[in-house]
Structure 1
Amino acid sequence: MESGPGESETEDSASQSIKGRLQAGSRNSVFREKGLLDPDTVIDEDRIVGRDQQLDDIITYLRPTLQGNHPPNLLLYGPSGTGKSLIINAVCEQIEDLARSQGDRFGVININCQTIKSHDRAVYRLVDSAAVSAGIETGVPQSGVSTDRKLNRFYEVLSEQFDSVIIILDEIDLLAGRQRDPSTEPAYSKLLYQLSRASQLGRIDGDVSVAALTNDPRFMENLDGRAESSFNPEDVVFPDYDADQLRSILERRRDAYQDDVLEDDIIPLSAAYAAQDHGDARKAIDLFRKAGELADRHDDDTVREDHVRDAQKEAERDRTLTQMQGLSTQKKLSLYATAIVPVYASRQIDAVPSTVAYNVYQYLTDLLDADEKSRDSYLRYMNEAETYNFVTSEKRGRGYGNGVHKEYTFVDEPEIVAETLGQDVRLDAAEDQTELVESVVEAQLTQFFEQS
């Protein structure tokens, strides 16, 4: 059936409207170069902040590469977001440029082990990365051939295509493999042994250095004795960033935004939030970027404090949602009942008494027609919530003759926890009865404080 003239005009109009809106959004963005706010972007050295010692150490250790000598293996460890990947990649990029100008073939083989589940897959990822870097075919299939054949192909690519290579294994501790037996050697231990021994045994022509990056300061203790002896790295420690360093990091990425779109307090506020969260630069940069995305989303000309605060709430909500998705209904209900106490309370509640929360839990099970578990079960669920770092707890006395009770304090804002859990379809009825639930919370708190 053919469309009439009216339909065609409508489609053209809609097409133009969509295209025009897309173009207008691009023109009016608060961003100038958004890529600078990608935490994985390899940045210029003048943007590196608070890592002078680590930068000096890695330059010193890898300088022999440019002098035709063998560099040591490296172990970079410290919390997430403290600059490990940033520094090693920035130095290697400069070595590549200098080596090229000298006519040397220097290669950087970089893999992230987070999503790699086995030793065999890690070896294939190394072959593939080396082949891409050299601009040649991988030469082996991902499956259907032995790990030894893939490893031999990897050695072959390195020997034929490079004079020297650094192999960067990011988040190496996550490459545990399938360990059904606790005595089984972890996959990362086997891989480090093979890579660090290959050059010594003449399997690779040229100089090879392995840089392992980990959040675990006790990583070396988990290595097999042979791997530890063969790997034998130089250690480079990366501590948390403080608020001033985070602020400097964001200042050096200010040009990701258009001129005069950032309010004065945006960078200090973003840095302060990230400093509270263990000094993670990745989170600081993410928050700084998300604030701008919120400004764009609302067609605002400037990035304001409320954009940063909303971006922080979104980040907390996303993290909380991810963590809570796997909880059972009873665990969610226990946590939800506890979270709504400070949310619905008419007075300031910094810590939630377990007796109040359990009574609210009982009311909610009746409202939702759910199974009601015992007080001991509720406390057990909340103990588990504490192991997940949703809450912290402290025992408090209730006065002479009244015994003791637990009080829970939420790590994230209880509003975020309640809102996140309230999205669960099984808790919809509680969300629809806000005023009623509010009155129950208030009654339980009043009764508690009168008895204390």
Structure 2
Amino acid sequence: MVRVGWVPDGNRIVGRDDYISTISSCLNDAVYGGAPNHISITGKTGTGKSLVSRYVTRRAVNASVDDVRMGHTYLDCSKSSTEVQVISTIGQQLNDESIYDEAEDIVKMPDTGLPTDKFYKRLWQILAHYDSVIIILDEVDLLRSDHVLMSLAKAVESNDTSCQIGIIAISNQINYFDELNPRTKSAFQAVELNFDPYNATQIQDILRGREDAFRDGVLTDDVIPLVAAFSAQEHGDARKAMRLFRTAGELADREGSGVVEEHHVRRSQDTLEKDRFRDFLQGTPTQMKAACLSIAAKSLYSRDDYIITGELYDAYQQITNAVDMDTIGIRRFRDILDEMQLSQVIETKEVNMGKGGGRHNSHRLLHNPEVILDIVVEDTRFRAISKASLKRFA
């Protein structure tokens, strides 16, 4: 119940009624064997996109009328990113023995070893046993090519199958669907949804809905509000809230404590944040680490939450000079900031500096700056930099 990926009952889903209603309406025709609407969903991580999509799809399949054979499948495109992997996985998940007549041969869908067109042919053979199918493509922006999205979206129009296919394509990248290949965009005409982040109150409600994963009386009163507060600081990420909730309980259990207390949450938050940032920095060039230090310095000692690119670049130049390393140009520095935004190390927005000031990108750190310092100085090149010395770069 406190693990990412668990799909709860509807009464445990918090603050997503409007999204549930919209997705349900889009899928309604499939319940009767008709054509559902495609759906494109964007929003930051941990906002309930996958959970709501899986819940509504499962509910629709359970509600399908008796003479309609409706199927559903879920793919994580970070694990199945090639066209063959996507088609093979969809086929394997839908290829249940129960869809075949007794005398009928079961279609074999291997992982590899066939030309791409043969994989499609076998998928169409499997889909021939269904009236309607809902396909959830999670993290669709990680597909190596959007050709598979186009092929699935126009399969009925191309007479590849008579099965009505509805695609729910989910992305953390707000602009992904705007940047699709024109042919794919034409085929994939979708209802667009953008999921808002959870607020602290909603995260508390989510956690209280999972509280029965712990024994009665184990959680002290301040645990859930503190977990929610930490998560709300990171743009309302419910996944991180669940992970912190679970990790605090595991820490208390390892220590033989009969209760989960505030200090377990704080220590777990520190450990998880360090682990996330260490994973992000692993194998990255020193320029990325210097850029991270620049925004850590500004976050520690600036009165502003958001810092414009030029100010960050000034701090970065001071840091590279202090550790005697090459300094990249501001264009490449902007590329590094883009990478940091995509990896959710920073949040970026455009700000208007007023008459004559123009418009500039401004950046906010999404991590504890002291955690960033602790991890970056594990690299011997930056070991001489301390929290106190960062002040002169700010």
Query: TM over 0.5, yes or no?
Result: yes
Distance 2:15 2:295 in 1: 41
Distance 1:359 1:220 in 2: 38
Is 2:126 the partner of 1:169? no
Aligned to 1:312: 269
Is 2:18 the partner of 1:53? yes
Which string of whole-angstrom CA distances, capped at 9 and with x for unpartnered residues, describes residues 320-378 of structure 1?
10121123357647867997x89xxxxx956899789958974xx6xxxxxx337x569
**Unmatched tracts of structure 1, length 5 or more:** 1-35, 178-186, 343-347, 366-371, 393-407, 432-436
Partner SS state of residue 107, structure 1: strand
How big is the shift at 1:382?
Answer: 8.1
Aligned to 2:325: 373
- The structure with the largest alpha-carbon Rg is 1
Partner SS state of residue 173, structure 1: helix
- AA in 2 matched with 1:48: I
Distance 1:121 1:209 in 2: 19
Structure holding more helix per residue: 1
1:66–1:326 distance in 2 versus 1, CA, 3 Å: same
1:193–1:273 distance in 2 versus 1, CA, 3 Å: same
Matched residue count: 362
Is 2:107 the partner of 1:150? no
TM-score under structure 1 length normalisation: 0.69
Is 2:111 the partner of 1:111? no
Aligned to 2:49: 84
Distance 1:277 1:410 in 2: 10
Aligned to 1:139: 108
Distance 2:291 2:138 in 1: 38
Compute the RMSD of aligned alpha carbons.
3.7
How big is the shift at 1:91?
Answer: 1.5
- AA in 2 matched with 1:164: S
Aligned to 2:92: 128
Aligned to 2:241: 284
1:76–1:386 distance in 2 versus 1, CA, 3 Å: closer
Distance 1:336 1:217 in 2: 27
Partner SS state of residue 136, structure 2: strand
Aligned to 2:376: 421
Distance 2:291 2:41 in 1: 41
Partner SS state of residue 37, structure 1: coil
Aligned to 2:231: 274
Correspondence list, 1:49-448, <5 A: 49-99=14-64, 102-131=66-95, 139-160=108-129, 162-175=130-143, 177=144, 187-188=145-146, 190-329=147-286, 332=289, 362=322, 372-373=324-325, 388=340, 412-424=367-379, 426=380, 430=383
TM-score under structure 2 length normalisation: 0.78
1:391–1:357 distance in 2 versus 1, CA, 3 Å: farther
Distance 2:315 2:31 in 1: 67
Distance 2:254 2:41 in 1: 38
Taking every aligned residue pair, what percent have the same amino acid on both sides? 30
1:48–1:319 distance in 2 versus 1, CA, 3 Å: same
Bigger mean CA deviation after superposition, 327-336 or 39-48: 327-336
Distance 1:37 1:330 in 2: 37
Aligned to 1:27: none
- AA in 2 matched with 1:312: Q
- AA in 2 matched with 1:202: N
Distance 2:48 2:62 in 1: 21
- AA in 2 matched with 1:421: V
1:359–1:282 distance in 2 versus 1, CA, 3 Å: closer
